[in-house]
Amino acid sequence: MPFFGNLLKFLGIRKGEANILVVGLDNSGKTTILNAFKSPENKSEEIVPTVGFNVEKFKMDKISFTAFDMSGQGRYRNLWEHYYKNIQGIIFVIDSSDSLRLVVAKEELDLMLKSEEIESKPNIPVLIFANKMDLVESMSSVKISQGLGLASMKNRPWHIQASNALTGEGLHEGIQWLSEQLLQQNK
């Protein structure tokens, strides 16, 4: 049975379902992004800092996503690794206005990608949301991709997408890329 299960896991998405991990530093807008995907009647009115994690489900582009929305606060980041197993995609959210902590974000991203579970699966796509693009002091997505050193990530599909979670701008485009990647792998 385990063998059979693993085989399924390797096949990735089954019946158009995908598990994705949503990570990033605290206050970058992970929960808000996921909230934007929910149907209007299910939307939360106010977003509070996540303690631990939340599970959210949403459907987009023929794929049902199960998103593990991880808490970004420093003391909870080491818990991310418990959820690396059995995921098909990663969404990494950056607060574009927080240039000061871009290095911290880079460190966390690198740490995650170097972990055994993720590194061994180069087909897991990474979608980076350069969130809060509406703010005046926000950096451009190019600048952020430079800051994160994304250019050096050659063996893994990645995409950076400027977004505004409050208005929903850029979110759909980002997910669209992710869906394409996942469907492609499934072929």
Partner 1 sequence: MKMYQKREKKDDEDAAGSNPFSKLQKTAVLQEARVFNETPVNARKCALILTKILYLINQGETLSTQEATDAFFNMTKLFQSKDTTLRRLVYIGIKELSKLAENVYVVTSSLTTDMNAKEDQCRPSAIRTLTTITDVTTFQGIERYMKQAIVDKNAAVASAALVSSLHMAKLIPDGIKRWVNEAQEAVNSDNVMVQHHALGLLYHIRKSDRLAVSKLVTKYIRSGLKSPYAVCMLIRIASKLIEDEDSGTDSPYFDFIDSCLRHKLEMVVYEAANAIVNLKCTSQRELTPAVSVLQLFLSSPKPTLRFAAVRTLNKVAMTHPNAVTACNVDLENLITDANRSIATLAITTLLKTGSESSVERLMKQISSFMSEISDEFKIVVVGATRQLCQKFPRKHNVMMVFLSNMLREEGGYEYKKSIVDTIINIIDDNPEAKEAGLAYLCEFIEDCEHVGLAVRILHLLGKEGPRTSRPSKYIRFIYNRLILENAPIRAAAVSSLAKFGAHCEDLLHNILVLLERSCLDTDDEVRDRATYYLNVLKLRQKSLHNQCILNPLQVSLVGLEKALQQYILEPSVTPFDMKSVPLATQVDKVEERPKKPMVNGLTNEALPNQVSKAPAEKIAATRQDIYAEQLAAIPEFVALKLGPILKSSLPIELTESETEYVVQCVKHIFKRHIVLQFDCTNTLNDQILENVRVSMQVPDGFEEVCTIVCPRLNYNIPAPTYTCLEIVNDDTSMITGTCENILLKYIVKDCDPNTGQLLDEDGYDDEYALEDVDILVADYMQRILKPNFGTAWEEIDSEHEVEETYALSSFKAIDEAIKNVIGFMGMQPCERSEKVPEGKSSHTLYLAGVFRGTDEVLVRAKLAVNTSNFESGVTMKMSVRCRNPEVATFIALKRDYKEITNNPIPNIYAKPLDNNILEWHFAMRGAQQTPYENGLYHGRIEFPVDFPFKPPSFYMLTPNGRFKCNTKICLNTSNYHPEAWNPSWSVASLLIGLYSFMNDDEPTWGSLRSSKEERMQLALMSWAYNLQDPIFVSLFPELAQECKRKISMICSSKMIKT
Applying CB under 8 A, which residues contact partner 1? 1-2, 4-5, 8-9, 14, 17, 19, 48-55, 57, 66, 71, 76, 79, 82-83, 85-86
Cβ atoms within 10 Å, residue 52: 10
User: What is the edge-to-edge ordering of all strands in the sheet holding 158-162?
Assistant: 53-60, 63-70, 17-24, 89-95, 126-131, 158-162
Catalytic residue positions, numbered: 73
Beta bridge partners of 131: 95
Is 133 marked as a binding-site residue?
Answer: yes
- Residue placing its CB nearer to partner 1 in the complex, 53 or 177: 53
- Residue placing its CB nearer to partner 1 in the complex, 51 or 104: 51
Q: How far is the CB of 44 from partner 1 (least distance, A)?
A: 9
What's the CA gap between 18 and 83, in Å, rounded? 14
- Residue placing its CB nearer to partner 1 in the complex, 87 or 102: 87
- Kindly state the tokens that stand for 32: 């808000």
Show binding-site residues for Mg(2+). Answer: 31, 50
Show binding-site residues. Answer: 24-31, 50, 72, 131-134
